[in-house]
Amino acid sequence: MRRRFLSVLVILMMAFLAACGGGNSNTNNTPPSSAGNNPSANTDGANNSGVEQIELRMAWWGGQERHDRTLKVIELYEKENPHIKIIPEYSGFDGYFDKLTTQFAAGNAPDIIQYGGNLNDFVARGVVLPLDDYVGEIIDLSKHSQSMIDAATIDGKFYGVTLGTNAFGLILNKTLFEEAGIPLPSKDWTWDDFREITKQLSDQLNGIYGTAVWTEDGFGIFLDQRNKVVHINGEIAFDEEDVRDYFQLWKELQDIGAAANAELQASAAQTPEQSLIVQRKVAMELIASNQFGAYQNATEDELMLFIAPINPETGRNGISLRPSQFLAGYAGTEHPEEVAKFLNFFVNNIDAGLILGNDRGAPVNTDVLKALIEDANEIDQEVFSFIDWVAETSDAPYVPNLPGYNETTALFRRTMEAIAFERMAPEQGAADYYKQLLEITAKYTEE
Amino acid sequence: MLKRYRGAWIGYLFLTPWLIGFFGLILGPMIYSLYLSFTDYSLLEAPKWIGLKNFETMFQDRNYIDSVKVTLTFVLWAVPLELIAALAVALLLNKGIRGIGIYRTMYYIPSLLGGSVAIALLWKNIFGVDGLINQVLAYFGIAGKGWVSHPDYALYTLIILSTWQFGSAMVIFLAGLKQIPSELYEAAEVDGANRFQKFWRITMPLLSPVLFFNLIMKIINSMQVFTSSYIVSEGTGGPINSTLFYTLYLYLKGFSHFEMGYASAMAWLLLIFLAILTGILFLTSKYWVYYEDGGRS
């Protein structure tokens, strides 16, 4: 008897396991192509008062500050448009896109969605609302710089408003430079200077490294300095030796103790509060400029934004102005026009712009930017002057993420880790990386 | 004959909530996931039938092979360690000491908390580069390691985390120990048996059905371990795939790489593997699991 009972229990447990494993995939049996026709449950709020009540759902990721600011803008919009109710769905970055993907599959994605550099991955799958019909009449792009419009234009169609202008930049811990007694680098420093300064910092500061390792974002900069780009429309546009040189550069910096060692680098968390520079483990780190405020607010030390060292052969610093994030509509939304109106308000309304500040990067609308600069605090000033610096010193083109971003990024990080932990020589790592990268991108471009 | 079944519909009526749940939430999705495992399904586009290609790709996928290795290593360490810890503590707590209830509760608490995100986060901080462990080690002049950020140690740190959650197995062992008639021990003492003899000749054989149950449950659970690595490695399975558990890779494939067909195929392969493994264990059980009633049911 007892044995039979055990068998039944075990079988039940296994049935449960299979359901867990497979069940995730089964949020909905309807192919997404028909998803747009499903009336979404939350738009049934029409009442009898004449004006149709419309509910829109909006999803974004970010930290607490961004949530507060965004919620305030939503409030403002609802006040000006009483027939609109916006239901916020916000979270941290972890799991944001996982959840979104599930919602797309189920045909109940939010109407308004924040994307990052992976917008192209979603456009390719047909879930992003093309906005061309609304540009001009509803969405005013006349005050936006062309490069930011281009960034959201994929295969000739316009898909989203850019939430901010951004640039990668080095964040320097000025306080640590002072403690080490090392002068700040000059504005036209080279990689040799970089190597020397980071080494000196490591030597002078006990247990602190000169710099954190630059990961994949840094590779884009490195390539631009060689007059190359990562890819053109999904076709890899660099050579194996480029990535080999990059891996070698960082392995060397780690070997001489200038850059964070393998263990420390692997422990680096993604949040500003847990980052190596805020934890006083390194004196420099590569970040996106809109995050500067979050880093500075997390530490007592004085931080500053600085340009990347230049490649003396080409004289380029490789830093490009880039869109921080996009706000876009869901292809299956019931109210595309209302979505477009809100997108317009979010980036073009000056009050909204003042509330949002620099949190998603410098506003793309020049009027909003002007208003914000007049209003800016010290931290925002630092970011704006850095953006200016980039605009003056660099003509690097904006290169969107590789297709299959999640997969290719994971591959890059894993390879760099394997090299850092000496499981692979940089040559071997580069060969492996390059081969697998071509396989992955082929998978995404063949469709 | 018919009479016997006449009132059966009432029984089924009472079963409906469960039946709906079983067919709608378990069997239906399972069959659908079986279908998906033969397709290329990006979640955002309709599934495309590709036959066995997912299964073929798997055996050339280095990450997949890594995830299998990592999971098997985890199971080989975590299951025995956890069972030994559970049994040892159960034996200790089976004695009549004062305040035994408190001790039992205390040892059980980790397994209530253990699977949670909060504990994984705590673990990450304790074993971090600046964590408690390294601070204590530094006090003794020993240079610490990045216990969760070094590929040589990260997995073993997670094994310790899972071993620490021995509570549920312990409670089942305790219940099993309580079932052993004390006359057997008394009779053995009269015959001059020492502690080891009593343990190996009485406790172990009579406890073997419970041990068997715990063993199978732990293997199944350990094969599906997910949370600890997802939190500690920030969902990457890193450093260098050293904590890339099978289910974590399955999740990444499905939701991060948009390959739900592949993920479903992985789920089914895991199910089949577990079914076979469990079957083998049941076959061997007649050689080492002792039932008082002779195994007759």
* Start-to-end C-alpha separation, chain A: 56
Instruction: Name every chain A residue with its beta carbon within 8 A of the beta carbon of B282.
Output: 7
Confidence tier at B137 by pLDDT (50, 70, 90): confident
- Which residues on neighbouring strands pair with residue A87, listed in sequence order? A57
Confidence tier at A365 by pLDDT (50, 70, 90): confident
Confidence tier at A446 by pLDDT (50, 70, 90): low
Rounded to whole angstroms, the Cα distance separating A97 from A83 reads 29
User: What is the average pLDDT value for chain A, to the nearest integer?
Assistant: 84
Confidence tier at A43 by pLDDT (50, 70, 90): very low
Q: Comparing C-alpha atoms, which of A47, A22, A63, A4 is closest to residue A291?
A: A63
Give every CB contact of residue A290 below 8 A, 6+ residues apart in sequence: A164, A166, A324, A358, A359, A360, A361, A362, A383
Assess whether pLDDT exceeds 60 at residue A40.
no
- Write the pLDDT tens digit of every residue in A392-424: 888 888 888 888 888 898 899 999 999 999 999
pLDDT of B185 = 86
Assess whether pLDDT exceeds 50 at residue B87.
yes
Contact B149 A104 (CB under 8 A): no
pLDDT of B2 = 56
Please tell me the distance in Å from A190's CA to the nearest CA on chain B.
31
Assess whether pLDDT exceeds 70 at residue A2.
no
Q: Which of A17, A32, A421 sits opposite B240 (nearest CB)?
A: A421
Q: Which of B30, B42, B150 sits opposite A18 (nearest CB)?
A: B30
Contact B268 A270 (CB under 8 A): no
pLDDT of B133 = 84
Q: Which whole-number Å values give the CA distances from A409 to A353, A397, B257, in the listed order?
A: 32, 20, 11
Contact A25 B151 (CB under 8 A): no
Assess whether pLDDT exceeds 90 at residue B120.
no
Q: A378 or A38: whose pLDDT is higher?
A: A378
At residue A212, φ and ψ (nearest 5 deg) are -80, 160
pLDDT of B82 = 92
SS3 string, B200-225, reads: HHHHHHHHHHHHHHHHHHHHHHHHCC
Confidence tier at B194 by pLDDT (50, 70, 90): confident
- B157-163 average pLDDT score: 87
Percent of all residues in chain A with a pLDDT value above 90, rounded to a whole number? 40
Asked if B260 has any chain A CB less than 8 Å from its own CB, the reply is yes
Contact A6 B128 (CB under 8 A): no
Instruction: Name every chain B residue with its beta carbon within 8 A of the beta carbon of A16.
Output: 26
Q: Which of A17, A22, A421 sits opposite B224 (nearest CB)?
A: A17
- ipTM, interface predicted TM-score of the complex: 0.82
Assess whether pLDDT exceeds 60 at residue A5.
no
- Write the pLDDT tens digit of every residue in A46-87: 444 556 788 999 999 988 888 989 999 999 999 999 999 999
Rounded to whole angstroms, the Cα distance separating B289 from B295 reads 9
Please tell me the distance in Å from A333's CA to the nearest CA on chain B.
15
Asked if B164 has any chain A CB less than 8 Å from its own CB, the reply is no
Q: Which of B238, B270, B271 sits opposite A266 (nearest CB)?
A: B238
Highest averaged pLDDT of the listed ranges A117-121, A230-234, B267-271: B267-271
pLDDT of B263 = 94
Assess whether pLDDT exceeds 80 at residue A180.
yes
Ranking A108-117, A381-390, B114-123, B228-237 by mean pLDDT, the lowest is B114-123
Q: Residue A209 half-sphere exposure, CB side, CA atoms within 13 Å?
A: 23
pLDDT of A47 = 44
Assess whether pLDDT exceeds 50 at residue A352.
yes
- A19-43 average pLDDT score: 39
Rounded to whole angstroms, the Cα distance separating B66 from B240 reads 10
Count CB neighbours of B297 within 10 A: 11
Q: A19 or A357: whose pLDDT is higher?
A: A357
Assess whether pLDDT exceeds 70 at residue A24.
no
pLDDT of B4 = 64
Confidence tier at A184 by pLDDT (50, 70, 90): very high
pLDDT of A417 = 92
pLDDT of B294 = 60
pLDDT of A233 = 81
Confidence tier at A19 by pLDDT (50, 70, 90): very low
Q: Which of A18, A407, A421 sits opposite B239 (nearest CB)?
A: A421
Assess whether pLDDT exceeds 70 at residue B295.
no
Percent of all residues in chain B with a pLDDT value above 70, rounded to a whole number? 95
Instruction: Name every chain B residue with its beta carbon within 8 A of the beta carbon of A33.
Output: 45-46
Q: B222 or A95: whose pLDDT is higher?
A: B222
- B105-112 average pLDDT score: 80
Please tell me the distance in Å from A21's CA to the nearest CA on chain B.
5
Ranking A31-40, B15-24, B186-195 by mean pLDDT, the lowest is A31-40
- Closest residue in chain B to residue A14, using alpha carbons only: B271
Rounded to whole angstroms, the Cα distance separating A297 from A302 reads 10
Q: Comparing C-alpha atoms, which of A442, A415, A409 is closest to residue A430?
A: A415
What b/e readout covers A333-346, taking b as 16+ CB neighbours within 10 angstroms? bbbbebbbbbbbbb
Assess whether pLDDT exceeds 50 at residue B261.
yes
Asked if B69 has any chain A CB less than 8 Å from its own CB, the reply is no
- Write the pLDDT tens digit of every residue in A259-296: 998 888 888 877 787 889 988 999 999 999 988 888 88
Q: Which of A26, A410, A417 sits opposite B33 (nearest CB)?
A: A26
Q: Which whole-number Å values give the CA distances from B35 to B41, B251, B275, in the listed order?
A: 11, 18, 19
Q: A14 or B159: whose pLDDT is higher?
A: B159
Contact A21 B264 (CB under 8 A): yes
Q: Comparing C-alpha atoms, which of A58, A72, A56 is closest to residue A359?
A: A72
SS3 content of chain A, % helix, strand, coil (to 5): 50, 15, 35
Which tokens belong to A331? Answer: 């292809």
* Cβ pairs A/B, distance under 8 A: 174
Count CB neighbours of B216 within 10 A: 23
